[in-house]
């Protein structure tokens, strides 16, 4: 982490963060503080890593599961969160949990597939919290109806639009609503939650879902390159199998995963915290797989 530019002042020695308490016992902090920094080594102590104080994040589909976890972890690093969900009750629930923990959040209910609603919802979020610095496109699924796994040969063409609407158009609408502001202000972070199904062929009956998720990956690469010189990064997380409400299904899925367990919202949220940070300024245009080793590239 040396050689990078810090936009926020770092606490000075002898501020010792709790996790270095054992070093205090060994009498080492002074040695660390006194070290010559000939390699531009900023020391092992310092600001909260990936400090998001003062940032505003919009997380779509954050009413439950992965999105709620992302919202909670971003809030934990100091970001104010606009919690979106199609279901306002779910968004409100996440807001209540974040505020109960001392974080700052507002609920903004809108449908990411509807351009007008997205424009209005983002304006509402910005009125409440200020300009959106961080967008996490998490809302996604099988579309208006839940994803019904089915071989492509058996699908009805009428079922194709739903998954592409939410997983691709949802991303386009939300990005379009924030990109100009981010570029004009010279700082922005866009993170899209895609799927392992978008980077590898599977015999799960999810081809049209994967078409939407894969389209989002390609779009994000171009957005990243178009906005790279304006201080905006755009990355995608292709996530693997997450836990299921049914423990038997979760156990079954876990057997296919080298790490031995399904994913948790926090596994995705921690990656978002990094990608949302100042420190991730040189990380853009990437598709990062988070999957417990299920698919390695
Ligand atoms: N769960 C998995 O195993 C898995 C695997 C790979 C990728 N993903 C992706 O991760 C993301 C989160 O998954 P999850 O399991 O937490 O999903 P989830 O279905 O539990 O939650 C998604 C939330 O998004 C909301 N939502 C749905 N459509 C919306 C719309 N049009 N506008 C606004 N909000 C909308 C829902 O109301 C819901 O609260 C999704 O993009 C999903 O495709 C999930």
Residue carrying the six token digits 């002074």? 30
In tens, the pLDDT along 106-163 reads 999 999 999 999 999 999 999 999 999 999 999 998 776 678 899 999 999 999 999 9
Which mutation among 138, 141, 146, 198 tests ligand 1's pocket best, with the greatest number of atoms within 8 A of CB? 141
140 lines ligand 1 (CB under 6 A): yes
Ligand 1 centroid – CA 88 distance (Å)? 14
Question: Which of ligand 1's atoms lies nearest the C-alpha of 140?
Answer: 41
44-290: CATH homologous superfamily? NAD(P)-binding Rossmann-like Domain (3.40.50.720)
93 lines ligand 1 (CB under 6 A): no
Structure-derived torsion over alpha carbons of residues 169, 174, 177, 182, reported in degrees to the nearest 10? -130
Contacts with 84 (C-beta within 8 Å, 6 or more apart), sequence order: 58, 59, 60, 61, 62, 91, 107, 108, 109, 110, 112, 121, 125, 139
User: What are the residue boundaries of the structural domains of the chain, listed by start?
Assistant: 44-290
Give which of 45, 96, 50, 46 is closest to 76, Cα–Cα.
Answer: 50
| pTM for this entry | 0.87
User: What radius of gyration do the chain's Cα atoms show?
Assistant: 20
pLDDT at 144: 67
pLDDT at 146: 79
Give the Cα separation of 95 and 93 in Å (integer). Answer: 5
pLDDT at 264: 96
Identify the segments of the chain with pLDDT beneath 50.
Answer: 1-6, 9-37
Give the Cα separation of 176 and 235 in Å (integer). Answer: 15
Q: Which residues are catalytic?
A: 209
pLDDT at 145: 67
94 lines ligand 1 (CB under 6 A): no
Give the Cα separation of 138 and 135 in Å (integer). Answer: 9
pLDDT at 41: 72
Question: Which of ligand 1's atoms lies nearest the C-alpha of 114?
Answer: 31
Question: Which of ligand 1's atoms lies nearest the C-alpha of 68?
Answer: 16
85 lines ligand 1 (CB under 6 A): yes
């Amino acid at each position: 982490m040396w050689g990078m530019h810090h936009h926020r002042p770092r606490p000075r020695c002898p501020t010792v963060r709790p996790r270095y308490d054992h070093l205090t016992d060994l009498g080492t902090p002074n040695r660390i503080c006194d070290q010559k920094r000939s390699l531009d080594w900023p020391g092992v102590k310092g600001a909260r890593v990936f400090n998001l104080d003062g940032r505003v994040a919009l997380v779509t589909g954050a009413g439950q599961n992965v999105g709620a976890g992302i919202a909670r972890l971003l809030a934990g690093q100091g970001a104010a969160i606009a919690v979106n969900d199609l279901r306002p009750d779910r968004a409100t629930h996440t807001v209540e949990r974040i505020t109960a923990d001392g974080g700052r959040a507002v609920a903004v209910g809108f449908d990411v597939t509807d351009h007008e609603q997205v424009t209005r919802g983002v304006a509402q979020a910005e009125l409440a919290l200020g300009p959106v610095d961080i967008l996490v496109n998490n809302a996604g699924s099988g579309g208006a109806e839940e994803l019904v796994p089915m071989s492509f040969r058996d699908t009805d063409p009428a079922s194709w639009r739903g998954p592409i609407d939410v997983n691709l158009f949802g991303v386009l609408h939300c990005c379009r609503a924030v990109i100009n502001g981010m570029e004009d202000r010279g700082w922005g972070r866009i993170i899209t939650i895609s799927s392992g199904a978008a980077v590898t062929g599977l015999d799960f009956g999810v081809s049209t879902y994967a078409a939407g998720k894969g389209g989002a990956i390609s779009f994000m690469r171009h957005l990243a390159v178009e906005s790279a010189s304006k201080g905006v990064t755009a990355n995608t997380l292709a996530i693997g199998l997450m836990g299921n409400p049914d423990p038997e299904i979760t156990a079954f899925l876990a057997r296919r995963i080298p790490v031995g367990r399904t994913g948790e919202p926090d596994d995705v949220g921690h990656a978002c915290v990094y990608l949302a940070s100042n420190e991730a300024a040189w990380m853009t245009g990437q598709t990062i797989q988070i999957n417990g080793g299920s698919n390695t590239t």
